[in-house]
Structure 1
């Protein structure tokens, strides 16, 4: 009996040891797995940049502007003044671009023998980038803040997809674009975006990195100004050797094959100054091309008597409709002010350099006022700061590019819009960001202190900017480089998706930061 009890106790102890060892093994395995997951999770937080914590920044966007009304006063009706002012400044910007800025760029193109797409990617892009340049210069050198970098990053998205989408929706009929300016500017802008990603990843900009950005700025101007030297060889290789993009040489808005006009012999003209190939019919027939060259327009003071009378500053439109009479009175202060401070290149051509400089000053000041008015409007209607920065402020700061592109489309310059917006994006990175950073590092050269930049989640926004450039090129490629209403809808759809993704990243939904 005693032996039986001892044997039973022995089996019980052995069973307990086996169970204990099994549980310990399972516990050790689960602990090892949990520790591994925690290590990977912590490693991702250490390596990957994080989005900002929501609610940590309690400042209002209006803190960066003069205070005319309190937020409570704005929400009790005074916001109407800001809305009216924003509309009036939009009109002012349109008149500056139409009557002064674009004619000045035309004069520059003639004297320097530049094609229109090159002028759009250089002189026009430089002028329309001045608002971002002044903003980042002030926020870097005078009032240290991250406003300049954030404004530029937010505006690049709208400038890439929004401006091209507006251009596609604004035209009356499909327009054939040349592939070369689009491909050239997309590649250059994509490369500059990668440069920005590399230098901003560490959270600081050293003297060497700022010098590199200045070097690429010089290279950008050299490439665009020497466009005609290497463009023919690349076109021959892509179009003839690879048999690609050949159809974009012509305007495909041709009549039906069985029509009488389609049976007439065609004469192919070389690439026009604005980056468009034109297909002309024989003499005494109308042109099949839906595009015209800017030099064919009366932009050099060659107006007839009726045009001169209509464009006189004080010529009241007695024979026009009531709306046109109201419009003349409504815009008279704008036209009078501009006539007093900007020499008209259509009347005094030799002063167009002065006109160009004054246009830059007026565009920069006007863009500041537009951003101010839109900021007040967004704060008054309770738009979150993150959403407002990526929508209202981004759209407001890119209005010069949008307005100049739309007006150039109306004037027949179909190739300018995309080149202007992409060129402005490249200069926003190299000029608006690079130059202030370079100056700041030069001032701090003796101390060796690098320029600090806010990078919480900004790397992902730069990745999205690169993706938006690829999306623009892909959409235009699938459309045969034709601007149509469908292309405009597609670009705005992609723009909406990317903006929502940017907002979710900024609101700590994706790649969240540990805010505990």
Structure 2
């Protein structure tokens, strides 16, 4: 360490002496002494050390480039700028940064309202008009919840900050969708959630391949348009696979039935389901025999109650999915506070966007779709500006804010949708949506934003200093495989203990992100 310190100090002295370097090559010691004597701005002592020194032109080390592609001097640069803040840095450090944090959280909820109330219903009508199959329409819904906000975040991050922000948001949202979403669904559900091996293994297989491609792309710290197209082709392959999902699923299951060991591991939940169905049929037969001895009047009353309860359930289901956004004052007291807090957002959205769930506004779903995209872009810009001010005040990097805070904010709509879906008993849909969003983030969100940046900067490459992000992506790949192995070990079920472990793993990831990013 002492030798390194001595060499560094000597190199710094050489740099200082070469500040007024002459134009000619190295000269003799006598010429150097005469020049130093004639210079009025330099005051030195004539010693043997200075008489023997020579002038060396310092040249910076050339950047290491292993891809063979020349770096463009104009790639990529900031074309947008953060607006000036109302508070100075000192004022924010004395407590006014809390307003920025509160505004950032408020923008997260605004993003949730836009996605849940306007974007997803308009996409549902679009898939109906185009006569898209159920599998492809499900893919569109998955992309709506997580892909659109993260796409705008990565695109604006390229022009406002750097490419690391977009990659950080995608990596952080991947951790959030796998650990936090799956963990919350399992931890806050009333019963144990059952999964089917085929959708989970399908999405994890595609996601693993996409993560490996992303690792290869990030190795040389530059991204060319060919590498962006290679990631974009992964999206095409995934959508094509989803289109022929049923045929491929049957084909794979037929081949797997030839191997007894594999079928016992993958289809271990099928015997339990058949046993449950058989036991439920026996219970129904016993109940029918007992009810046959009762009076006809009781039967009529019981059937009437069943009809009323079924009607109520249908109305509740319809109310959850088809009720339009309303600005009426809620009668429940626990909803009044949230109504007042969210009224500025809901009021602006209600005035500017037609609700496609109303019959009178159903025909304007294209206007709703385009308007919701504009609102999401505006909210993404506000979130980037606020996170920049918070990171500047707290002294942390913007990449750390993108991996931890922004990724959780843009994935909040997916978390709420997954919790509501899991509570209804559709855990497979919730997990599949989370994995599908991750696939679209890597194969559609990142490459499209990189291609746009290359087109704006004249076809130049996108330079990105991966650094800790490379290890974060590698860590995420190991976490993803470990999570799937744990689910398979639990016989494709997720209980509350599993949910607690997943949530704790997400907090460990947040701690590691502070060290790596």
Change in Cα spacing, 1:144 to 1:237, as seen in structure 2 (3 Å) is same
The yes-or-no answer on 1:487 pairing with 2:507 is: no
1:165 counterpart residue number: 183
Q: In 2, distance between residues paired with 1:477 and 1:492?
A: 18
1:363 aligns with 2:389: no
Q: Which runs of structure 2 are paired with 1:77-476 in the superposition (5 Å)? A: 77-108=95-126, 110=128, 112-115=131-134, 119-126=137-144, 128-140=146-158, 146-238=164-256, 242-243=262-263, 244-248=265-269, 263-264=283-284, 297-298=317-318, 313-317=326-330, 320-347=331-358, 348-370=361-383, 372-373=385-386, 376-377=389-390, 380=393, 387-410=400-423, 413-441=426-454, 450-476=461-487
Q: 1:419 to 1:354 in 2, by over 3 A?
A: farther
TM-score with structure 1 length normalisation? Answer: 0.66
Cα deviation for residue 349 of structure 1 reads: 3.2
Q: 1:383 to 1:207 in 2, by over 3 A?
A: closer
Counterpart of 2:318 in 1: which secondary structure? Answer: coil
Looking at secondary structure, tell me which structure has more helix per residue.
Answer: 2
Checking the alignment, whether the CA contact within 8 Å between 1:468 and 1:498 is kept in structure 2 is no
Is 107-116 or 429-438 further displaced after alignment? 107-116
Residue ranges of structure 2 left out of the alignment (5+ in a row): 1-63, 67-80, 287-302, 307-312
| C-alpha contact (below 8 Å) 1:152/1:428 kept by paired residues | yes
> Structure 2 vs 1, CA of residues 340 and 236 (structure 1 numbering), >3 Å: closer, same or farther?
farther
C-alpha displacement at 1:490, in angstroms?
1.7
TM superposition shift of 1:443: 6.6
- The DSSP-based 3-state class of the residue aligned with 1:359 is helix
The answer to whether the 8 Å contact 2:182/2:499 transfers is: yes
CA distance in 2 between partners of 1:239 and 1:376 (Å): 58
For residues 99 and 110 of structure 2, what CA distance do their matches in structure 1 show? 16
Equivalent pair of 1:185/1:423 in contact (CA under 8 Å):
yes
Displacement of 1:252 after TM fit?
Answer: 6.0
1:94-126 CA-partner distances (Å, limit 9, x unpaired): 43344334434544555545446x544444325
Asked if 1:73 corresponds to 2:91, the answer is yes
Provide TM-score, normalisation by structure 2: 0.66
Show CA shifts across 1:454-485 (max 9, x none): 12243222211211221221232223333332
Alpha-carbon distance between aligned partners in 2 of 1:408 and 1:422, rounded to the nearest angstrom: 15
Unpaired segments ≥5 residues, structure 1: 1-45, 49-62, 267-282, 287-292, 304-310, 507-516
Could you tell me how far 1:202 is from its partner in structure 2?
1.8
Post-superposition offset of 1:262: 5.9
In 2 relative to 1, CA 233–76 (structure 1 residues): closer, same or farther, beyond 3 Å? same
Whether the aligned pair in 2 keeps the contact of 1:161 and 1:491 (CA below 8 Å) is: yes
Report the CA distance between 1:395 and its aligned residue.
1.7
Confirm or deny: 8 A CA contact 2:185 2:422 kept in the other structure. Answer: yes
Contact 1:363 1:400 in 2 (8 A): no
**Structural mapping, 1:53-64, within 5 Å:** none
Structure 1 residues 128 and 503 mapped into 2: Cα distance closer, same or farther (>3 Å)? Answer: same
Q: How does 1:42-57 map to 2 (within 5 A)?
A: none
Residue aligning to 1:39: none
Conserved in 2, the CA contact under 8 Å of 1:104 and 1:355?
yes
**2:167–2:446: 8 Å Cα contact kept in structure 1?**
yes
The CA deviation at 1:153 is 3.0
Question: 1:502 and 1:409, CA in 2 relative to 1: closer, same or farther beyond 3 A?
Answer: same
Question: Contact (CA 8 Å) 1:97, 1:407: kept in 2 or not?
Answer: no
Residues 277-308 of structure 1: per-residue CA shift (max 9 Å, x gap): xxxxxx9999xxxxxx99993169977xxxxx
- How far apart, CA to CA, are the structure 1 residues paired with 2:106 and 2:433? 24
In 1, the alpha carbon distance for the partners of 2:384 and 2:285 equals: 53
